[in-house]
Amino acid sequence: AADLAIQTLSAIVADPSLTAREPGSGALAVAIPGGQRLFHARPALPKEAAAGLFSAAEQLEIRENNTAAAVDAYRRLARTHDQTVRAGALLRLARTLRNSKNAGDALQVYDELETLETAGAGGLPAPAAALWGRCTLLEAMGRKQDLREAATRLRASLDKGRWPLTRSDYEAFAAEAERWTGLARPKDLELLTGVVNELETAAATTEEPVYGARLVRASGVPVTLVWRRTREGFAVFAATPAYVAREWLPRAGRTVWLKDEAGADLTQPVGPEPVLRYPGQTRLPWTVAVATPPPAPELATRTRLLLLLLLAVGVFSVAGGYVVLRALLKEFALARMQEDFVAAVSHEFRTPLTTLVQISESLEDGRVANEQHRNAYYRSLSQSARRLQRLVEDLLDFRRMQSGAVEYRKAPLNASELARDVVAGFQREVDEQGFRIDVRQCAEAHVVADSAALGRALWNLLDNAVKYSGASRTIEVAVECGQRDVGISVRDRGIGIQPEEQARVFGKFYRGGEARKAGIRGTGIGLAMVRQIAEAHGGRVDVKSEPGIGSTFTMTIPREENRWPVS
């Protein structure tokens, strides 16, 4: 970056066209000798007529105080062709008229004098003397408006470097022009002009090199001075630090600034720990300081992109981890449920089997002599056998349902009749335990269903109602004929289900907390089957339950008319 900056700055400083253009504010380009500037070190003043030419007229004017004769004499002299004589005569004529309070005529004379561009008068270029005289006269007359206009013209002429003026003449004009117009003096330009003039003076006495660049301090301002020999003399370029900072530095790079030989900053520093290149190394007028460049914006964007990508990867990892963890937990829970299921099934088998073994042994041994007892034993036997059979069928059916292999043999049937039959069969099973099952039904409960499957589902619900009834002994079955569906519900007044469990009881192998705690037998597949069956019939199963109050399970099956409109 430092090398590049120095290359650029060197090219700017050495560019021959640098001094050929109008540089803009804060800099001055001048050709020496001549060259238009505010003032000169040794101006070549235009020629003046010898003072002796006017001595006769001045005698009349000053010694004899004969104004009319003096005016005549000056006017005669002013009619000659020699510009220098005319200029000298007009300046003196104006003076005479002013002194004799003939201001109007004096202004006219100044007008004429101002046109004599190449002559000198009173140690000044004639037009400068005329304009200056006009201003002082207008001020004396109190014509403020005219004065401001004339003084503005004076300032404009100074700015253009229209006349070769000494520094002191310029200073006098500039100070008065500022007072008359209220316009600020061009301080920068005055400073730069002074520096250029000094170089010119120095060049006249010493042998300046062909090309040079130097930092010159004027009134405390470090002015950058660049010059080059031309055929006529020199081309000089002088610039304030503000100009250099504005016009040149941006081309050198964003991290570059300049210092003087003492190490003081000339332009705004842009960063710490710079690389420094001294004038001795670079032949530039300043010490060039370069800070470490900030990362390129492209790099910053890439870094941002990378960060975003990392963030995305992070988010995906966390999300992925969460999903995997959840799946694993689910898997673990299922495995545990399956274990519980195996234990539960074994337990389910053991109870009726034990009964079977014990009773059949008793009968075999002929230990039951009483006919009545024997009949009760037989009933028990067949009950346990049926329970075992249902259990095995449940398990087989459940497996078939899970694999989707079960086939439903659907036929139109009346759900009320089916419910009545199932309840009658179930009632016999639970008679001994004192359960009473009420059935409410409607006549038009036409559905299309697999009677065995629907019966099995209802049986499961009844079985649960008994199992989870606690001390209660009433169970209500209701078949309701809705407009579109038939509802078959089983209601008990038992232990109920916790609200947070209600949605989960239809999951396979799921057993309620209360059920397990109370040691109530079960495998966790009963309600899963009910749901399978209800859904296979285009319906659904819902539960309404309150712990300690009871539960109502309702299967909703579409009415027959909904599927096959009655013809």
What is the contact surface with ligand ADP in residues (CB under 6 A)? 464-465, 468, 492, 494-497, 505, 510-512, 514-515, 522-528, 551
What is the rounded CA–CA span in Å between residue 105 and residue 94? 8
Least Cα distance to 181 among 218, 154, 216 occurs for 154
Strand partners, 287: 259
When the beta carbons of 178 and 514 are compared against ligand ADP, the nearer one is 514
Q: Which residue spans within 171-304 are E strands per DSSP?
A: 211-218, 221-229, 234-239, 256-259, 275-277, 287-290
Query: What is the closest distance, in whole angstroms, from the C-beta atom of residue 415 to ligand ADP in the complex?
Result: 20
Least distance in angstroms from the C-beta of 505 to ligand ADP: 4
Q: Across 340-484, where does the E strand assignment appear?
A: 411-414, 436-440, 446-449, 474-481
| Of 224 and 523, CB closest to ligand ADP | 523
Facing residues of 221 across strands? 218
Q: Which residues contact 505 (CB under 8 A, 6 or more apart)?
A: 497, 512, 527, 543
Residue 554 C-beta: closest distance to ligand ADP, Å = 12
Give the Cα separation of 53 and 84 in Å (integer).
Answer: 11
- 423 or 515, CB closer to ligand ADP? 515
SS3 343: helix
Phi then psi for residue 286, to 5 deg, are: -125, 165
User: In this complex, which beta carbon is closest to ligand ADP, that of residue 308 or of residue 342?
Assistant: 342
CA 258 to chain centre: 35
H helix runs in 226-365, sequence order: 241-243, 249-252, 279-282, 297-364
Residues 6+ apart with CB under 8 A from 358: none
CB of 346 to ligand ADP, least distance (A): 14
Residue 525 beta carbon to ligand ADP: minimum distance, rounded to whole angstroms: 6
416, 424, 426: which is closest to 467 by C-alpha? Answer: 426
Stated as kind and residue range, the H or E segment containing 545 is strand 540-546
Q: Which is nearer to ligand ADP, 450 or 463 (CB)?
A: 463
Rank residues 155 and 508 by Cβ distance to ligand ADP and give the closer one.
508
Minimum distance, C-beta of residue 526 to ligand ADP, in the bound complex (Å): 3
The distance of closest approach from Cβ of residue 305 to ligand ADP in the complex, given in angstroms and rounded to an integer, is 54
* Nearer to ligand ADP among residue 161 and residue 494 (C-beta): 494
| Residue 75 vs 544, nearer CB to ligand ADP | 544
As to burial, measured by CB atoms within 10 angstroms (0-12 exposed, 13-18 middle, 19+ buried), residue 106 is buried
**Alpha carbon distance 469, 481 (integer Å):** 27
Of the two residues 26 and 494, which places its CB atom closer to ligand ADP in the complex? 494
Q: Are 491 and 466 in contact (CB under 8 A)?
A: no
How near is the Cβ of 509 to ligand ADP at its closest, in Å? 8
**Which CB sits closer to ligand ADP, 446 or 531?**
531
DSSP 29-91: EEEESS---S-BSS--PPP---GGGGHHHHIIIIIS--HHHHHHHHHHHHTSS-HHHHHHHHH
For ligand ADP, the closer CB: 373 or 516: 516
The C-alpha atoms of residue 164 and residue 391 are separated, in whole angstroms, by 128
Nearest Cα residue to 501 out of 543, 457, 465, 468: 543
- Shortest distance, position 411 Cβ to ligand ADP, whole Å: 27
A 10 A CB-CB count for 174 gives: 20
Least distance from C-beta 465 to ligand ADP, angstroms?
5
What's the closest the beta carbon of residue 492 comes to ligand ADP, in angstroms? 5
Name which of 345 and 406 has its Cβ closer to ligand ADP.
345
The H or E element containing residue 194 is helix 187-205
Q: Which is nearer to ligand ADP, 138 or 541 (CB)?
A: 541
Q: Return the residue nearest ligand ADP (CB atom).
A: 512
Closest approach, Cβ 491 to ligand ADP, in A, equals 9
- Provide the total of helices (H) and of strands (E) in the chain, helices listed first: 20, 16
Residue 47 to residues 56, 120, 128, 163, 184, Cα–Cα distance (Å): 21, 5, 14, 13, 32
Q: Reduced to 3 states, what is the DSSP secondary structure of residue 235?
A: strand
Shortest distance, position 483 Cβ to ligand ADP, whole Å: 28
Closest approach of Cβ 352 to ligand ADP, in Å? 15
Q: Quick one: 54 or 426, whose CB is closer to ligand ADP?
A: 426
